[in-house]
Amino acid sequence: MYFHNIVKAVGFVSAILVAETAWSNEASSANVMAPLEINDWSGFNSQLTTAKNMGVDAVSVDIWWGKVEAAGDQQFDWSYYDSVVSAIENAGLHWVPIMSFHQCGGNVGDECDVPIPAWIWSHYPGIDANALKYRSEQGNYSAETVSLWSDDLVVDEYLEFMNAFESHFATKAYMTDEINISMGPAGELRYPSYNSHDVNTGYPTRGAFQSYNDNAIADFRDWTLSKYGSLAAINTAWGVSLSSITQVSPPTDATAFIANGDQYTLQYGRDFVRWYHESLTSHGITMMNAAIQAFDSAFADAELGFKIPGVHWQMGVAGNYRRSAEIAAGLIPTDVDLNSAATAYGYSSIIGVAASYNNSGRNIVLHFTALEMDNQNWSPQYSLAKDLVFWVADGATAQGVTIKGENALAGGVASDNGWNNIENAFTWSGYSGLTILRIGDVTNGGTGQNRYTSFIQNFHAAGSGANVAFSCANGYTYWGQSVYVVGNLAELGNWNPASAVVMSASAYPTWNATITVPANTTIEWKCLKREESNPSAGIEWESGANHVITSGAAGSTVTTAGAF
């Protein structure tokens, strides 16, 4: 079952020999993700300028529910996001806001602490806070998101938030390329099965089931009774002798449940996992329906999207633990063939959340992570990340779903190997857009910036811009100082050192940058040194007259060099 993707991986070696035009138009969007919270506004503005010059389209921004509506129900404070969108707009970029109904903090790469609004836990008279939270097999409660088994209560709060967002930012519709909907922890459609409220459930373990609060247990009983019609029929199907429906419950010993293979071999086990999985997909539809209802005016034409994670560990392990991490996250059921392309190796039904809107008149985009990763099918992780990237993409293509990709970890775009995997996915599967997590990883020089610039040139749908490859020799700098390109175009900062474009020092002391500029345009430019954190400090201009060049036709690249 892995031969198909081995061919694809080998095919990448051949693909790099093909002319760049053979790769063009694979990506309809090339985006970056903003910092979780912006504290260094000068640095952020510099990153935006660089991103624009690279050919980036839009910036994805978490709109934290807990930041905007912290003061109380329907007490919205959009001031922080007014500043964010103004910075993005001034840089000539678009944005992709994320309705982030989860907390910021507690996930890999998080450097923030924005819980969801505290008032939500006491908002419903007579309902205890823990009744709104996921409760795990370990008995721990997660406050990262509201449990999906409370959707009937909290969905109105989500609607109010999204309606208020549309009203406040209606004038930004022209620059809103897509709106993403957070559907779970880390903004992903999954359970918090490997999050910090539990012990020893993180990567690369099987995780933990999250279906043990009273609402979840009651729902499982209702689902089971609805499927079989009576307790007697349940007993027959499961081969048990229950005397009361109250004896129907999630596994009392989840470790033994997985270790014994009950999720595969017992009808009870297959039913439990099916219910657990369908609860998640139903939640996805509830959230998307709410978004469609909310964004019906200024944002009526904006695409909507959601994300599923690349839970790639415990995939290749032999025995009963195979696919266990994905099962605990709710991503796949166990009553289908998990080794078949016909089921997208288990992902058909969660992809089907997006596919269910194919004829609705509203395009729903599926986002998937982990494009930069390799297979590592050995202990302890038994990861098949690269296989998974293709399984999900092929499954989306089969159902007519638009799929776009992301890197899972920041380190993945700091290496050529990670970028080779990303380009491999775009060359051989159906990914139609890329978002890089995060902007700072591809705008501060080095491999990330160089490879994303190259990706945009090679894979992005052709635009009207031309490329200029700038170099500045003898660029010796001190710690905290860098070399920049500055010139007479907005793309080069309009001679303003604060808006100049930082170059890559990968060939130090020669600095390089490839920048997209208007085609067939006269350009004047110079090399510039300045401090990274203080644009007015450490200024040193290249001596002599301005360099004067003319950019080429759209899609072409010309080179030009300066020196200190």
Average pLDDT score over residue span 170-188: 94
**Single-letter amino acid, residue 154:** V
Would you call 235 exposed, middle or buried from its count of C-beta atoms within 10 A (0-12, 13-18, 19+)?
Answer: middle
Q: Is 369 annotated as a binding residue?
A: yes
User: What are the contacts of 553-557 at 24+ separation with CB within 8 A?
Assistant: 553/466, 553/519, 553/520, 554/462, 554/463, 554/464, 554/465, 554/466, 554/519, 555/24, 555/462, 555/465, 555/466, 555/467, 556/466, 556/467, 556/519, 557/457, 557/466, 557/467, 557/468, 557/469, 557/514
Task: Spell 144-153 as b/e; 16+ CB within 10 A means b.
Answer: bbbbbbbbeb
Q: Is 547 annotated as a binding residue?
A: no
Beta-ladder partners of 180: 98, 305
The pTM score is 0.81
Q: Is 110 annotated as a binding residue?
A: yes
- The residue annotated as part of the active site, out of 188, 372, 423, 532, is 188
CATH class of 3-207+272-459: alpha beta
Average pLDDT score over residue span 147-154: 98
Highest mean pLDDT among 6-10, 33-37, 102-106: 33-37
Structure tokens at 255: 């470790």
Q: What are 371-416's pLDDT values in tens digits?
A: 999 999 999 999 999 999 999 999 999 999 999 999 999 899 999 9
The helices-and-strands tally (H runs, E runs) of the chain is: 15, 21
Average pLDDT score over residue span 221-240: 98
**Position 108 confidence tier, pLDDT thresholds 50, 70, 90:** low
Q: Please check the confidence at residue 20 and state whether its pLDDT lies above 80.
A: no
**Position 464 confidence tier, pLDDT thresholds 50, 70, 90:** low
State the Cα–Cα distance between residues 126 and 122, nearest whole angstrom: 9
Q: Is 312 annotated as a binding residue?
A: yes
State the Cα–Cα distance between residues 446 and 109, nearest whole angstrom: 20
Domain range summary for the chain, segments of one domain joined by + = 3-207+272-459, 465-563
pLDDT at 556: 74
pLDDT at 505: 85
Q: Please check the confidence at residue 555 and state whether its pLDDT lies above 90.
A: no
pLDDT at 502: 87
**Position 462 confidence tier, pLDDT thresholds 50, 70, 90:** low
Average pLDDT, whole number, for the chain?
Answer: 92
Q: Please check the confidence at residue 490 and state whether its pLDDT lies above 70.
A: yes
**Single-letter amino acid, residue 547:** H
Q: Which CATH architecture has domain 465-563?
A: Sandwich (2.60)
Q: Is 74 annotated as a binding residue?
A: yes
- The residue annotated as part of the active site, out of 406, 491, 532, 542, is 406
Closest CA to 172 of 234, 97, 229: 97
Backbone phi, then psi, for 175, in 5-degree steps? -110, 15
Q: What are 250-297's pLDDT values in tens digits?
A: 999 999 999 999 999 999 999 999 999 999 999 999 999 999 999 999
Report yes or no: 277 and 346 within 8 Å, Cβ to Cβ.
Answer: no
Q: Is 128 annotated as a binding residue?
A: no
Q: Is 188 a catalytic residue?
A: yes
For residue 380, is the peptide bond before it cis, meaning its omega torsion is within 30 degrees of 0?
Answer: yes
